[in-house]
Amino acid sequence: MVLLALWPAALTEAQDELPRIRFVREPEAAPGFALKDLSGKELKLEDYRGKVILLNFWATWCGPCRAEIPSLIELQKQYRDQLQVIGLAVDEDDDAYVRKFAASEAINYPIAMGSNEVRFAYGGVTALPTVFVINKSGAIVQKHVGLFNPQLYETEVRALLDLPIAARVETFEDDGEIFLKHADRATMLPGVNLTQLSAEQKAVALHKFNAESCDCGCKFTLAQCRIYDPACQISQKRTAAIIQEISHSNDGKAAKPAPAVPGANPSPAPQQQ
């Protein structure tokens, strides 16, 4: 009886020690596309509905991209009936060279030359490799930028296929990690210290970060640039300057209305730019 009584606690403790994977709580549909693969056949994302998809933006000149190809080949081999890896080559001028490279690596999944339209539809992919993890329903549940451990990919694939995994699955709200258009949901940004601001001032700062474009040439807002390119010195300096302006401003707190109080007379809402 003692063992039975301790079992739930022991199980919880064991689960707490497991590694964790994260999926978007309410994922959005992956943008569709219709391209020609390297053999000239039509490659449509919707044709793989019902399978887990790893959509890999890559380039032949990218070292990390080349390094992860063998693990993608093995995943495609092992889960060929339930998984589809798709490669979209970007920043490439010669499709013949890409075709030759794919053959030399014995790549066993379809590859197409990624168009600018598709690239922008997925958030203006600028860092390579970038892999979008798409569930069987065609929604993006995770995004990985840079070289990742192949065990992570396999764990995510198995979880989406309802196969046993030695990991805990957690969900999160996309606040720009997956789609940059959701950066306005973010309450914290990489390299941005908001601790000196009050709650109202913090809200004003976040609004400014999402309203002002970064001057680094990325065509993103300051918030989006901080999420996508934390190393950008321009967005980092500008967000720091905005924080200083607001922290020393007498009207910083008045820029965002306080929550409504039942029975109280509502105050006019500030105009949003």
Using the predicted structure, report yes or no on whether residue 14 has a pLDDT greater than 60: no
**Higher-confidence position of 92 and 266:** 92
Domains and CATH numbers, the chain: 15-172 (3.40.30.10), 180-255 (no CATH)
* Distance (Å, whole) CA 155 – CA 148: 12
Residue 187 has φ and ψ, to the nearest 5°, of -105, -15
Q: What pLDDT digit, counting tens, does each position of 53-86 carry?
A: 999 999 999 999 999 999 999 999 999 999 999 9
Residue 250, pLDDT score? 55
How far does CA 8 lie from the centroid of its chain? 35
Place of tokens 């730019």: 273
**Higher-confidence position of 7 and 210:** 210
Q: Which positions ≥6 away from 94 have C-beta within 8 Å?
A: none
Alpha helices, H only, the chain: 2-16, 63-78, 95-104, 116-121, 150-160, 199-211, 222-228, 233-247
Q: What pLDDT digit, counting tens, does each position of 79-112 carry?
A: 999 999 999 999 998 999 999 999 999 999 999 9
Cβ proximity of 222 and 243 under 8 Å: no
Residue 254 has φ and ψ, to the nearest 5°, of -85, -10
pTM beyond cutoff 0.85? no
Q: Is 164 exposed, middle or buried (0-12, 13-18, 19+ CB in 10 A)?
A: exposed
The pLDDT-based confidence of 127 (bands split at 50, 70, 90) is confident
